[in-house]
Amino acid sequence: MVAIQDGSFDPPTLEVPPGSTVVWTNEGTMNQTVTGIGLETNFDSGLIAPGETFDWMFTAPGTYNYTSLTTGMSGNIIVGTAEETNQTA
């Protein structure tokens, strides 16, 4: 559901309901990571080679920020409704 390109995540922000699994696909030409930022955002893909994927299930409402440790680009997953996401994960 999120394309990893050499300079950006597409889309940079994705809204999903709780219980959704988000899949990142490396469509670029270099290795990338998908690494959560913050104490409550504990996902880390390790290196994802071009053509490979990483998936993570988001169960709790909130806003989950992430980055690629190889390029510094960033993105957000918003889980739940606006009311539910007032508490940032």
Q: Is the pTM of this model over 0.95?
A: no
Strands (E) across 1-89 are located at: 2-4, 9-10, 13-16, 20-26, 35-36, 53-58, 62-67, 74-79
- The pLDDT tens digits for 1-55 are 999 999 999 999 999 999 999 999 999 999 999 999 987 778 999 999 999 999 9
Q: Which residue has the higher pLDDT, 39 or 89?
A: 39
pLDDT, residue 82, reads 58
Three-class SS state of 68: coil
pLDDT higher than threshold 60 for residue 87:
no
Query: Which domains can be identified in the chain, with CATH numbers?
Result: 2-83 (2.60.40.420)
Q: What's the angle, vertex CA 52, arms to CA 60 and CA 89, rounded to 5?
A: 15
